[in-house]
Structure formats: structure tokens, C-alpha cells
């Protein structure tokens, strides 16, 4: 049942729109909709509904994490005062109704962790005040609408975990207020774009699992506010800048595993808590931790790092308790006795290198070093 928009500019129209939404909910295990009825109860008191104090119109709809099953009624487009929609962590299916595009006051649309299908409706781009668009982990298909590039107030854009196409959209360059961008695991394909010149507010970016090719463009390193970077599981090549730490002084997470990046990585920025360079083509000496860095995860396995463990393992400034994975490299020489300082690590591996010494044979567990290759 779809209630018409006959009274869309009145409180009566809001009541009808809410009842239209209820009519398409098929399962309500928590009984959220019990209060949504035709009685004289003020709909502003219904669960999940917030109204503005002046006009008593619905401004926010929050039905998140309620176990709801059903489809989203086009009636939602009649709630013309809506500023926020939170329907995440439910089991909504079917298409996202394009009627959402009527909501020109809308600032926040969070529909993630559902089973929505079809395309991302181009009508969403009519919501010119939108600041948060989170559609992650649904079953959406097709291209990301180019019109999203006109949403100049957008600071969070997340569509990860869908089945999209068309590459990383170039319109990202227009979203100068963007703080978080997540397009990971969308099968987008194409080359890594050169669109970052003006994204000076960007704090987190995730483009992992997209089969992206090419090199990371120099403009990317102009994003000096970046704190988290997830570019793993792509086909990127080229080298990282030697002065990465000074270019990105706030960087906390750098995840580049399963690419084709090469060259040296000499200095770990002091701010890093996660560094994952595994399954690449890095070479040369192991990076230094002498600048005060102490990451919780340091994963450098399956590269071509060579030389001694001593500078890394015996660093006095390191107090790791997470992961240290140096397996499947070309490391050589003795394992120094100070390796025992890593005893509290959750995971430690020196497997498949060319290490030797008394500690290999007597003190280090076989699964850490990887016998018989190191005997």
C-alpha cells in the first residue's frame, strides 16, 4: 500500500507517510511498529520518530538495528521535513525508492547493512544538503551516479561492499569537504584516479578489493590529513615516496597488501599503528623503527626484504603486542637474543628466510621460524 501525497505539507501528511512505511514492513521482531497506529496518539511519540519542536513535523527517522524485514515505501519521500534517515542493520530488500530525492532538507542517509538491490537512484543527487551518504554492504549494482559530485556539502561517502562498476568516479575531485571515502570491495576496476588535488580534509580512504591498476598519483600524497589508507587487494605498482612520513604526518593505518608495489620502505612514520606491506615487491633493508614508532601490526611478509633483523628486533623504542610478520623474505644472519622482547606478541613469524644462529636451533619455536628451511 502506498499512501498518496495529498497532504504532504501537513502533519496529517506525515502520519500517512509513516503508516505507508509501516505497511511495507513484513517482520517486526522487536515490536517497534506497535506504537505506529491510527489512534489519536501523537506520531511524534512513535518509536524511532523525532519531530521538530516548532512545526511538529518529522525530522528524523531512526529504525536502525531493529531486525526489520520488508521494503522501503516510496511514502518516505512525503516526509518533506526529514533531515536524517537511519535504517541500517536491518533486512530491507528491494530498490531504494527514488522518492527520497524529494527530501531537499535531508542531511543524513544511512541504509547500510541491508539487502537493497538495484541501482543507486540518481534522484538522491537532488538532496543538495546531504552530508552523509552511507549505502555500504547491500546488493546494489551499476555505476555510482555522477550527480553525487554535485553534493558539495558531502563529508562522508560510503558505498563499500556492493557490486558496482565503472571505475573510481572522477567526480570525487569536486567533493572538497569529504572526510571519509569508502569504495572498497565493489569490483569497480579501472586505474587509480588522479582526483585528490583539493581533498585536503580527507581523513580516511578505502579502495581495497577493486582490481585497481596503475600507480598511486602524486596528488594522493597531498592529502596531508589522511589518517587511514586501505588500498590492499588491487594491482597497483610503482613506488612510495621516501618522505611519506613528512607528507602524511597524521597517518595511523597504511594497508597496501596484495599489490605490486616495489622499492624501499626505510622509515616507518612515528604515528603508524598498522603497517601492512605484505605480498608486494618491496626490497632492500627492513624499515627502521628508530624514530619512535611502535605499530601494533607490522606485516612485511612475502616481499624481498634482505639483510639483518638486528636493528628492527632490538630497537629499544618498540613495545609491540600485536603482529610482527617478516616471513617469506630474504633475511639472513643470526637472530639476536633480544628477540625475546617480542614474547608478548599475538603473532610472530620469521618463516622462510635464511636465518641462523643458536636461537634458531634452541630457543625459537619451530612454527615461528619455519623449519626445515632455516635449519
Helix (H) or strand (E) holding 175: none
Cβ burial, residue 35 (10 Å; 0-12/13-18/19+): middle
What string of DSSP letters covers 315-373?
-TT----SEEE--SSEEEEEPPGGGGGGTT-SEEE--SSEEESHHHHHTS-HHHHTTTT
Which value, in Å, is the radius of gyration of the alpha carbons in the chain? 26
First to last CA, the chain: 73
CB 263 within 8 A of CB 239: yes
Q: Would you state the cell numbers that stand for residue 264, as one nine-digit string? A: 624501499
Mean pLDDT for the chain? 89
Rounded CA separation 356/337 (Å): 12
Give the pLDDT score at 375.
33
Q: Mean per-residue pLDDT for 89-100? A: 98
Q: What is the pLDDT of residue 347?
A: 86
368 confidence band (pLDDT: 50, 70, 90): low
CATH class assigned to 241-375 = alpha beta
Percent of the chain with pLDDT over 70: 89
- The predicted pLDDT at position 373 comes to 41
pLDDT, tens digit, 9 for 90 and up, residues 195-254: 998 999 999 999 999 999 999 999 999 899 999 999 999 999 999 998 888 899 999 999
Global confidence as pTM: 0.91
Tell me: pLDDT of 358 over 80: no
- Render pLDDT for 16-36 as a digit per residue (tens, 0 to 9): 999 999 999 999 999 999 999
| Beta strand extents in 162-299 (DSSP E only) | 163-165, 180-182, 204-206, 213-215, 228-230, 235-237, 253-255, 262-263, 274-276, 281-284, 297-299
What pLDDT was estimated at residue 257?
Answer: 97
Q: Which three cell numbers stand for residue 172?
A: 570525487
Answer yes or no: is pLDDT of 363 > 80.
no
Q: Would you say residue 336 has pLDDT above 90?
A: no
Bridge-based pairing state of the strands 84-86 and 156-158:
unpaired
Number of C-beta neighbours around residue 365 at 10 A:
8
Please say whether the beta carbons of 66 and 90 come within 8 A.
Answer: yes
pLDDT at residue number 7 = 40
All cell numbers assigned to 369: 621460524
pLDDT digits 0-9 by tens, 129-184: 999 999 999 999 999 999 999 999 999 999 999 999 999 999 999 999 999 999 99
Is cis: bond before 128, omega within 30 of 0?
Answer: no
- Cβ proximity of 61 and 85 under 8 Å: yes
Give the residue among 11, 94, 14, 102 at the shortest CA–CA distance from 61: 14
Amino acid at each position: 500500500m502506498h499512501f498518496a501525497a495529498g497532504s504532504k505539507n501537513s502533519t496529517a501528511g506525515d502520519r500517512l507517510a509513516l503508516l505507508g512505511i509501516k505497511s511495507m514492513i513484513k517482520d517486526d521482531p522487536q515490536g517497534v511498529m506497535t506504537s505506529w497506529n491510527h489512534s489519536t496518539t501523537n506520531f511524534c511519540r512513535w518509536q524511532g520518530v523525532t519531530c521538530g519542536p516548532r512545526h511538529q513535523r518529522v525530522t528524523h527517522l531512526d529504525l536502525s538495528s531493529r531486525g526489520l524485514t520488508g521494503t522501503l515505501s516510496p511514502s518516505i519521500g512525503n516526509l518533506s521535513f526529514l533531515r536524517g534517515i537511519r535504517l541500517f542493520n536491518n533486512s530491507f530488500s528491494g530498490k531504494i525508492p527514488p522518492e527520497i530525492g524529494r527530501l531537499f532538507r535531508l542531511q543524513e542517509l544511512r541504509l547500510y547493512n541491508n539487502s537493497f538491490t538495484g541501482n543507486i537512484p540518481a534522484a538522491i543527487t537532488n538532496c543538495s544538503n546531504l552530508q552523509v551518504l552511507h549505502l555500504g554492504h547491500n546488493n546494489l549494482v551499476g555505476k555510482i551516479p555522477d550527480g553525487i559530485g554535485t553534493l558539495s556539502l558531502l563529508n562522508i561517502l560510503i558505498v563499500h561492499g556492493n557490486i558496482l562498476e565503472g571505475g573510481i568516479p572522477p567526480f570525487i575531485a569536486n567533493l572538497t569537504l569529504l572526510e571519509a571515502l569508502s569504495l572498497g570491495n565493489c569490483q569497480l576496476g579501472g586505474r587509480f584516479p588522479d582526483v585528490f588535488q583539493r581533498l585536503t580534509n580527507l581523513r580516511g580512504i578505502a579502495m581495497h578489493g577493486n582490481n585497481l591498476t596503475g600507480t598511486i598519483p602524486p596528488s594522493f600524497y597531498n592529502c596531508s590529513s589522511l589518517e587511514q589508507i586501505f588500498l590492499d587487494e588491487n594491482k597497483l605498482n610503482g613506488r612510495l615516496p621516501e618522505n611519506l612520513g613528512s607528507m602524511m604526518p597524521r597517518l595511523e593505518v597504511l594497508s597496501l597488501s596484495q599489490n605490486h608495489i616495489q622499492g624501499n620502505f626505510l622509515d616507518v612514520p612515528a604515528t603508524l599503528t598498522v603497517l601492512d606491506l605484505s605480498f608486494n615487491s618491496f626490497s632492500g633493508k627492513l624499515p627502521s623503527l628508530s624514530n619512535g614508532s611502535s605499530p601494533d601490526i607490522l606485516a612485511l611478509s612475502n616481499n624481498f626484504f634482505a639483510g639483518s633483523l638486528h636493528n628492527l628486533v632490538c630497537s629499544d623504542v618498540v613495545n609491540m603486542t600485536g603482529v610482527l610478520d617478516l616471513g617469506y623474505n630474504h633475511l639472513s644472519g643470526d637472530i639476536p637474543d633480544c628477540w625475546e622482547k617480542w614474547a608478548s606478541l599475538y603473532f610472530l613469524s620469521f618463516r622462510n628466510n635464511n636465518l641462523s644462529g643458536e636461537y634458531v636451533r634452541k630457543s625459537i619455536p619451530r612454527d615461528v621460524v619455519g623449519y626445515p628451511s632455516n635449519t
